[in-house]
C-alpha cells in the first residue's frame, strides 16, 4: 500500500526522521527538487537535506510515497490527532469550494482513517467516468485521411497516385466520420490510465482497468494544457465538466519520469490563501441576511494598467441608503494575544475604502483560540474634520467546539461587520 506522510503547511521534511518518525529517501527528495524547479519553486523551498513547504496544501505522490500537506491556523504543531483533524478540515473545505464532490464518495471510504485525499479524487473520477460510459460517450465529427476500399469523401490525387499505382482497388481519400474518438473522450481515457498508475488501492486499480477496457478505443495520447483549452464548452458536454475538471488536475499535475528507473510523480496542490478566500465567500453567501449582498473580486483601475481588487465587497441596503464593507482575507498566523496588522495591509485597506467609498473594512484572519480584535480609524478627514474610514482586524475560528470545520463562520463575520458600523 506504500508509505504515507502528513505534514503541516510551512513544515519541513528531510532525509532525517522528524518527531513522527517520517523522512524522505534521497530519490524522493530529488524528484521533489525536480518538480519544484519546473514550477518556479512556488510549492516549497529547498533546504539542507530536505524541503520546507509553503502555503500550498494538498497531496503529492511519488511512487509508493504519498505526502499530504495540511493547513494549520496556529503556531502549535500538533500530534497525530491534530493531523487527522486538519485532514478532515481540508477535505471539507475542498468540498464546500467545489474542488471535489465528496458526496459521491462512499461513506466507508470517508471513515477510513488513512484514506488519502488523492484516493478520494480517484474514486470520484471513476464514478464520473462510469456514469458517462453508462450514458454513452459523446460523438463528434473528425477527419480521416488514408487509403480506403471504397470511394467516399474527397480523393487526394497526388497521394493516391503515389501509394496506389499498383493497387487500383484502393482510394486515398479525406473524409469525415462521426464516432466517439475525439479529444474529450481521449482525455477521459488518459485520466483512467493515470488513476491505474497511481492508486494504492487494488479495488480502484481494478475499476480503472475495467473502465479502460470498456472504452471504444484504446490508443494513447499525451495530454497537455492546450488540449483542455480547445474543448468546446457546449451544452452537449456539460455533463462532462466534473470529470474533465478532475482529469485536468490529474493530467496537468502529472510529472512522468524522464529517465528510466525514476518514480513517477503526481501532485494536486491548492493555494491555501485562495482556498480560504473562496471558503469565506461561499459561507458568507450561504448565511447572508436578506439586506446583505456579497460580491467577490471586484476590480478597479488604479494606476496605468494596474488594478486593485479586494477579496470581497459586502453591501447592506436599508431602505434608500446603503453601507459598503470591504473584506480582505489573510491566511496568516498572528499573535492572538496582541494581534497587529502590517503597515502594508493597512495601506491596502485604506485604498480599498477610498475606491469603493467604503467607510468600513475588515482584515480577516483565521484562529483556533480565543483572541482579541483591533478596531482602528484612518486619519482621513473631510471638511468637517471627521474621520471617514474604519478598519477592523478580526479573527474567526476555523474550528467549531468539537474540532471540525466551523460551518457557522459566515454568521460570525456578519456579526463582526455590524460591530464595525455601529
* pLDDT (0 to 100) of residue 109: 46
**193 within some domain:** yes
Residue 249 has pLDDT above 60, yes or no: yes
Mean pLDDT across the chain, nearest whole number? Answer: 83
Domain total in the chain? 3
Residue 156 has pLDDT above 70, yes or no: no
* pLDDT (0 to 100) of residue 241: 86
pLDDT for 276-291, tens place per residue? 999 999 999 999 999 8
Q: How many CB atoms lie within 10 A of CB 339?
A: 17
406 and 351 in a common domain: yes
**276 within some domain:** no
Q: How many CB atoms lie within 10 A of CB 274?
A: 15
358 and 222 in a common domain: no
Between 230 and 104, name the one with better pLDDT. Answer: 230
Residue 297 has pLDDT above 50, yes or no: yes
Residue 292 has pLDDT above 80, yes or no: yes
* pLDDT (0 to 100) of residue 237: 76
146 and 102 in a common domain: no
326 and 256 in a common domain: no
Between 76 and 3, name the one with better pLDDT. Answer: 3
* pLDDT (0 to 100) of residue 139: 82
pLDDT for 14-24, tens place per residue? 999 998 899 99
**280 within some domain:** no
Domain extent at residue 366: 288-421
**281 within some domain:** no
95 and 216 in a common domain: yes
Half-sphere exposure of 291 (CA within 13 A, CB side): 11
Residue 314 has pLDDT above 80, yes or no: yes
Domain endpoint, select from 204, 239, 271: 271
214 and 299 in a common domain: no
Q: Greatest CA span in the chain, whole angstroms? A: 98
Distance between CA atoms of residues 354 and 376, nearest Å? 16
* pLDDT (0 to 100) of residue 348: 92
Residue 107 has pLDDT above 60, yes or no: no
**335 within some domain:** yes
* pLDDT (0 to 100) of residue 167: 65
132 and 267 in a common domain: yes
**255 within some domain:** yes
Q: How many helices (H) and strands (E) does the chain have?
A: 12, 19
Q: What mean pLDDT do residues 382-401 have?
A: 81
Strands 65-70 and 3-8: parallel
408 and 259 in a common domain: no
Domain endpoint, select from 271, 301, 324: 271
For residue 92, count CB atoms less than 10 angstroms from its CB and return exposed for 0-12, middle for 13-18, buried for 19 or more. middle
* pLDDT (0 to 100) of residue 3: 86
**277 within some domain:** no
The closest of 335, 422, 409 to 96, measured between CA atoms, is 409
372 and 255 in a common domain: no
Q: What mean pLDDT do residues 20-41 have?
A: 89
147 and 77 in a common domain: no
Q: What mean pLDDT do residues 389-402 have?
A: 89
Q: What percent of the chain has pLDDT over 70?
A: 81
317 and 408 in a common domain: yes
**340 within some domain:** yes
Strand ranges of the sheet holding 50-53, from the earlier edge strand across to the other edge: 12-14, 50-53, 44-47
Q: Which contacts (CB < 8 Å, 24+ apart) does range 298-306 have? A: 298/356, 300/355, 300/356, 302/351, 302/355
243 and 148 in a common domain: no
At residue 406 the predicted structure's pLDDT band, cuts being 50, 70 and 90, is very high
Q: What mean pLDDT do residues 85-114 have?
A: 68
Residue 233 has pLDDT above 80, yes or no: no
Q: What mean pLDDT do residues 113-132 have?
A: 83
pLDDT for 252-269, tens place per residue? 876 544 333 456 788 888
Residue 171 has pLDDT above 80, yes or no: no
Compute the CA torsion angle 237, 233, 192, 6 (nearest 10 deg): -130
The helix (H) or strand (E) run that includes residue 248 is helix 241-252
Distance between CA atoms of residues 332 and 343, nearest Å? 15
Residue 347 has pLDDT above 80, yes or no: yes
Contact 365, 393 (CB under 8 A): yes
Amino acid at each position: 500500500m506504500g508509505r504515507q506522510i502528513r505534514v503541516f503547511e510551512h513544515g519541513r521534511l528531510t532525509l532525517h526522521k522528524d518527531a513522527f518518525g517520517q523522512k524522505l529517501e534521497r530519490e524522493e527528495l530529488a524528484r521533489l527538487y525536480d518538480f519544484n524547479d519546473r514550477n518556479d519553486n512556488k510549492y516549497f523551498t529547498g533546504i539542507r537535506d530536505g524541503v520546507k513547504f509553503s502555503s500550498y496544501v494538498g497531496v503529492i505522490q511519488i511512487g509508493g510515497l504519498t505526502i499530504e500537506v495540511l493547513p494549520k491556523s496556529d503556531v502549535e504543531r500538533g500530534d497525530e490527532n491534530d493531523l487527522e483533524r486538519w485532514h478532515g478540515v481540508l477535505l471539507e473545505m475542498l468540498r464546500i469550494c467545489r474542488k471535489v464532490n465528496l458526496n459521491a464518495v462512499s461513506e466507508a471510504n470517508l471513515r477510513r482513517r488513512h484514506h488519502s485525499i488523492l484516493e478520494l479524487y480517484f474514486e470520484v473520477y471513476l464514478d464520473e467516468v462510469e456514469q458517462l460510459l453508462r450514458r454513452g460517450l459523446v460523438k463528434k465529427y473528425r477527419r480521416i485521411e488514408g487509403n480506403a476500399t471504397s470511394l467516399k469523401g474527397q480523393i487526394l490525387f497526388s497521394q493516391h497516385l503515389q501509394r496506389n499505382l499498383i493497387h487500383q482497388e484502393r482510394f486515398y481519400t479525406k473524409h469525415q466520420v462521426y464516432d466517439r474518438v475525439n479529444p474529450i473522450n481521449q482525455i477521459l481515457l488518459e485520466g483512467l490510465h493515470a488513476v491505474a498508475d497511481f492508486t494504492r488501492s487494488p479495488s480502484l486499480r481494478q475499476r480503472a482497468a475495467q473502465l479502460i477496457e470498456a472504452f471504444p478505443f484504446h490508443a494513447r495520447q499525451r495530454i497537455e494544457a492546450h488540449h483542455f483549452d480547445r474543448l468546446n464548452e457546449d451544452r452537449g458536454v456539460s455533463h462532462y465538466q466534473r470529470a474533465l475538471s478532475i482529469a485536468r488536475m490529474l493530467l496537468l499535475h502529472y510529472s512522468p519520469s524522464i529517465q528510466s528507473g525514476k518514480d513517477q510523480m503526481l501532485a494536486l496542490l491548492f493555494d491555501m490563501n485562495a482556498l480560504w478566500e473562496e471558503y469565506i465567500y461561499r459561507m458568507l453567501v450561504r448565511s447572508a441576511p436578506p439586506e446583505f449582498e456579497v460580491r467577490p473580486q471586484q476590480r478597479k483601475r488604479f494606476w496605468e494598467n494596474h488594478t486593485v481588487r479586494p477579496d470581497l465587497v459586502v453591501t447592506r441596503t436599508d431602505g434608500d441608503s446603503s453601507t459598503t464593507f470591504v473584506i480582505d482575507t489573510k491566511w496568516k498566523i498572528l499573535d492572538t494575544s496582541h494581534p497587529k496588522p502590517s503597515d502594508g495591509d493597512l495601506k491596502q485597506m485604506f485604498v480599498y475604502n477610498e475606491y469603493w467609498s467604503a467607510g468600513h473594512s475588515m482584515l480577516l484572519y483565521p484562529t483556533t483560540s480565543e483572541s482579541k480584535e483591533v478596531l482602528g480609524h484612518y486619519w482621513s478627514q473631510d471638511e468637517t474634520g471627521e474621520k471617514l474610514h474604519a478598519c477592523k482586524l478580526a479573527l474567526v475560528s476555523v474550528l467549531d467546539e468539537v474540532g471540525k470545520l466551523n460551518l457557522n463562520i459566515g454568521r460570525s463575520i456578519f456579526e463582526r461587520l455590524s460591530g464595525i458600523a455601529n
